[in-house]
Amino acid sequence: MLDAIGCQTEIAEQIVEKGGHYLLSLKENQRGLYDDVVCGFKACRADSVSEQWEYDHGRFEVRKCSIIQSKNVLLPENQEKWRGLKTLIKVESSRTVKDREMKETRYYISDEEGIILML
Supply the DSSP symbol for 86: -
- What is the predicted pLDDT for the residue at 9? 84
Hey, what's the torsion of the CAs at 80, 84, 87, 92, to 10 degrees? Answer: -90
Contacts of 5 (CB under 8 A, 6+ apart): none
Contact 23, 1 (CB under 8 A): yes
Q: Of 38-42, 65-69, 78-82, 90-94, where does mean pLDDT reach its minimum? A: 78-82
- What local confidence, expressed as pLDDT, does residue 114 receive? 66
Q: Tell me the domain boundaries of the chain.
A: 4-110
Q: Give per-residue pLDDT as tens, 37-68.
A: 999 999 999 988 999 999 988 889 999 999 99
Q: Which residues of 17-54 are buried (b: 16+ CB within 10 A; e: fewer)?
A: eeeeebbbbbeeebeebbebbbebbeeeebeeeeeeee
